[in-house]
């Protein structure tokens, strides 16, 4: 019995050696995943895009502005002239934090009164907003400590008071940002897994050749192959959204057509990637390993699990090439913020480029493969 088992083990290693593609995936994937997790999980959130609305325009307001600008946690990218512009900047995803220095701040401190400073954070990402509020309060506390030290005071007194306000998700419930993301993740997993098996499965069983003995054309085959799974994905999306809104009470402030447009473009990308994997892989086992290899980086680097702002700069650059990054921006922006087509024009445009390009390449490659 031991000899038979030993021979079976040896046979499996021989088969693995004959399949260098699969062997490479098995060796490389853990290393890549370890590096990705190590960099993403171990880094604090920093360089949050920030807007400063200075309505006081005094030496004190400039020192507060400078304290935030010089901090590694905040990067001032906008200086709007009024508080009313903050919402539009957040809707467009330009900023995550806004600092509002009201008129009369220096006069209040001079008169020995407390000067309230507004800190507005974007609640569509609960992790970022929680950390941003804490960082802002920490900087304000440092400003007050410096003022007291300069005045020779040993106990606290009136100073700058950080009043944190959360837009869009005031309760900071993580479920409100997780459910919109799950819509994209579940759709991508189901479509990529199914489509990655589409051609390779029939090629392995020999039914692909039999199929084209019939009068069916390559284009008809592709449409017939894709359509059922697209319909199932639409049902999945509707079920997940309904459960999230009805059972978990996730607020929906957006436009159904914005969601539908974004998901349609994202589904084209998922189908295209699945078909390309099916064409590259020689066996279903290879296709499954490639899916696992791609799925973890997609979910980790897109901002679904960890904020993109928590990643090093080079990983943030990588996340810009991942389609899921943009569908998450569309779904969370529409669900939580109520952002429309104009506010989400950039991520929708990127999704359109990815969807059309990847789907077209995959369909053309599939047509060539099955008619060769």
Instruction: Write down the pLDDT at residue 153.
Output: 53
Structure tokens at 135: 């960082």
Q: Quote the radius of gyration of the chain (alpha carbons, Å).
A: 26
SS3 19: coil
Cα dihedral sign, 63-65-68-70: negative
Across 130-163, b (16+ Cβ under 10 Å) vs e yields bbbbebbeebbeebbeebeeeeeeeeeeebbebe
DSSP 310: G
Q: What is the C-alpha separation between 239 and 190, in angstroms, rounded?
A: 14
Residues 6+ apart with CB under 8 A from 39: 311, 312, 315
Instruction: Write down the pLDDT at residue 367.
Output: 77
Instruction: Write down the pLDDT at residue 244.
Output: 84
Structure tokens at 196: 């990655």
CA dihedral angle for residue 187, residue 191, residue 193, residue 199, rounded to 10 degrees: 180
**Minimal CA–CA distance to 274: which of 284, 259, 261?**
284
Residues 6+ apart with CB under 8 A from 84: none
Residues 6+ apart with CB under 8 A from 237: 183, 186, 187, 263
- Per-residue pLDDT tens listing for the chain (372 residues): 666 555 545 655 665 566 565 556 555 655 565 555 555 554 567 789 999 999 999 988 899 999 999 888 899 999 998 988 999 999 888 999 999 999 998 888 888 888 888 999 988 877 788 888 888 888 888 888 877 777 665 445 567 777 888 888 777 677 888 888 888 888 888 888 777 876 776 666 666 656 556 666 667 777 777 888 788 788 888 888 888 888 888 888 889 999 999 999 999 999 999 888 888 887 777 888 888 888 888 888 898 888 887 788 888 888 999 999 999 999 999 998 888 999 999 999 999 999 999 999 988 887 777 666
Q: How many CB atoms lie within 10 A of CB 172?
A: 16
Instruction: Write down the pLDDT at residue 127.
Output: 78
Q: Which domains are seen in the chain, by residue range?
A: 48-167 (3.40.190), 174-371 (no CATH)
Q: Are 74 and 95 in contact (CB under 8 A)?
A: no
SS3 338: coil
Q: Are strands 97-101 and 115-122 parallel, antiparallel or unpaired?
A: antiparallel
Instruction: Write down the pLDDT at residue 31.
Output: 56
Instruction: Write down the pLDDT at residue 30.
Output: 54
SS3 78: strand
| DSSP assignment string, 276-306 | HHHHH-SSHHHHHHHHHHHHHHHHHHTTSSS
């Amino acid at each position: 019995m031991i000899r038979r088992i030993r021979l079976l083990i040896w046979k499996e290693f021989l088969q693995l050696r004959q399949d260098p593609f699969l062997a490479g995936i098995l060796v490389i994937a853990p290393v890549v995943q370890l590096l990705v997790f190590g960099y993403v999980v171990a880094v604090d959130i920093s360089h949050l895009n920030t807007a400063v609305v200075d309505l006081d325009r005094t030496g004190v307001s400039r020192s507060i502005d400078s304290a935030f600008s010089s901090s590694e946690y905040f990067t001032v990218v906008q200086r709007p002239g009024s508080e009313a512009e903050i919402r539009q900047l957040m809707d467009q995803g330009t900023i995550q934090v806004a600092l509002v220095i009201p008129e009369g701040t220096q006069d209040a401190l001079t008169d020995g009164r407390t000067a309230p400073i507004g800190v507005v954070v974007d609640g569509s990402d609960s992790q970022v907003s929680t950390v941003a509020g804490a960082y802002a309060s920490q900087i304000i506390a440092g400003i007050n400590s410096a003022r007291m030290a300069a005045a020779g005071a040993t106990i606290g007194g009136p100073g700058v008071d950080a009043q944190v306000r959360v837009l869009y998700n005031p309760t900071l419930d993580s479920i409100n940002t997780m459910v919109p993301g799950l819509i994209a993740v579940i759709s991508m997993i189901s479509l990529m897994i199914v489509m990655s098996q589409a051609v390779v499965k029939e090629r392995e069983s020999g039914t692909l050749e039999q199929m084209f003995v019939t009068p069916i054309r390559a284009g008809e085959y592709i449409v017939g192959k894709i359509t059922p799974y697209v319909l199932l994905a639409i049902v999945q999306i509707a079920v997940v959204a309904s459960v999230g809104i009805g059972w978990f009470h996730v607020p929906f402030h957006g436009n159904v057509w914005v969601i539908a447009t974004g998901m349609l473009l994202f589904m084209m990308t998922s189908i295209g990637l699945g078909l390309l994997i099916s064409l590259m892989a020689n066996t279903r086992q290879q296709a499954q390993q490639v899916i696992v290899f791609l799925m973890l980086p997609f979910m980790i680097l897109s901002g679904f699990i960890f904020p993109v702002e928590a990643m090093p700069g080079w990983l943030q650059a990588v996340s810009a090439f991942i389609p899921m990054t943009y569908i998450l921006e569309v779904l969370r922006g529409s669900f939580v913020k109520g952002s429309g087509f104009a506010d989400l024009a950039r991520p929708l445009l990127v999704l359109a480029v990815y969807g059309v390009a990847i789907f077209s390449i995959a369909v053309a490659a599939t047509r060539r493969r099955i008619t060769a």
